[in-house]
Amino acid sequence: MKILLDPQIFNQQTYGGISRYYTEVFSILSKESNVEIVLPLYKSDNAYLKNTDLLIDNKPLNFLYSILSLFKISTRTLRKKKSDKLLRRIFEESSYDLFVPTYYNPYFLDKIKDKPFVLTVYDMIHELMPQYFENDPYNVAEFKALLITRATKIIAVSNNTKKDILKFYPQIDPNKIKVIYHGSSIKIEPNIKVNLPDNYILYVGSRANYKNFEFLVQAITPLLKANPKLNLLAAGGGEFDDDEVEWIKSLNIEKQIIQKNFEENELGYFYKNAKLFVFPSLYEGFGIPVLESMASGCPIILTKHGSFPEVAGEAGIYFDSNSIKDLQYKIQMLLDDSGLRAEFIKKGFEQVKKYNWKDAAEKCLKVYQEAMSQK
């Protein structure tokens, strides 16, 4: 089986759950004796892809990129041009069996002809909360609708995501959708040194709209003021912008709310050394940070929305997303009770055993084979 893997998500993300998903799954599948993966990329800025064998090895081209980079000359446009040229040639030769899009741009529909394609749907946030995506540059909802209708098979990352797909597209045959969970990639490497606060609550990733970061700050402010040694650490998501800085200053807690970026191999320590992790998002199709937290031995507080109860199970402590007081209470409860923290750390270690990338890759391969047999 020869699979043509679309490069679009790797051109969009340096970090991110979607590009990690494809990197993990296809790194495993590329080692199968009867599977050939073609990803039309010679070089990539994606953090996960860099450390795999999925990129095409073109030594002269990579040498050229290295020289240009040495002189601080951007190679992004040149790389995109070379990649697009290669992808066009593969489409023209039609020398593959299955196409796998990595995001929702439907540019390929008139190029793959009668080849089957398998679409993964990560969430239905654009459909459920359109107010947050009024100026979406990727036209996700519109393009996703087209691909859902046209896909040979669909992979949903959780049962909740499958349910949401069918809510918006009841005409789709449920048997066309297979639920395949993500795995956990996080590792705690013994030689990594990370400068972290002594006493902190952790938040990870984007702070935009439905991620509900402001709600968390409102809940935690009285706790920070009551304990000057306690901090809220926002890992990743970019530096605080001017509006965030001014708002945090207005609360008089600017010294206790810290934003810190991280390298991929450092993230495990952010979780491991935290008192607890709060994931206040109003919706996630899966929520890889849930697995990261559990795998790192960090108790987790999260909402009951989306896939969270399905993924975290009894290892999660859930709060009412309409009640700042409830979130405040759950945070204080964990901070005050080391025995309770230990109990939920243990539950997390057990729960995360249910998720692994090898299992996900095997199930994806089966779906790909079924799609080919339907041709």
Break the chain into its structural domains and give their ranges. 2-183+356-373, 200-352
Angle at the Cα of 270 (from 267 to 275), degrees rounded to 5?
150
- CA dihedral (130, 172, 361, 139) positive or negative: negative
Using the CB atoms, write b or e for 21-42: b if 16+ within 10 Å.
Answer: bbbbbbbbbbeeeebebbbbbb
Query: By the 8 A CB rule, do 236 and 266 touch?
Result: no
Q: Where are the beta strands (DSSP E) in 222-368?
A: 231-235, 257-260, 276-279, 300-303, 316-319
In this predicted structure, what is the pLDDT of residue 263? 87
pLDDT of residue 375: 66
Separation between Cα atoms, residue 206 and residue 241, nearest integer Å: 12
Going residue by residue through the chain, which has 375 residues, state the pLDDT in tens, using 9 for 90 and above: 999 999 999 999 988 899 999 999 999 999 999 999 999 998 888 989 988 999 987 767 776 767 777 777 777 778 788 899 999 999 999 999 999 999 999 999 999 999 999 999 999 999 999 999 998 988 999 999 999 999 999 999 999 999 999 999 999 999 999 999 999 989 888 888 899 999 999 999 999 999 999 999 999 999 999 999 999 999 999 999 999 999 999 999 999 999 999 988 899 999 999 999 999 999 999 999 999 999 999 999 999 999 999 999 999 999 999 999 999 999 999 999 999 999 999 999 999 999 999 999 999 999 999 999 986
Q: According to DSSP H, which parts of 137-233 are helical?
A: 140-150, 159-168, 213-226
Domain 2-183+356-373 part of CATH 3.10.20.90: no
Helices (H) and strands (E) counted in the chain, each on its own, are 15, 12
Please give the pLDDT value at position 130. 95
Per-residue pLDDT, 202: 98
pLDDT at 63: 65
* Model pLDDT, residue 352: 97
Topology of domain 200-352, per CATH? Answer: Rossmann fold (3.40.50)
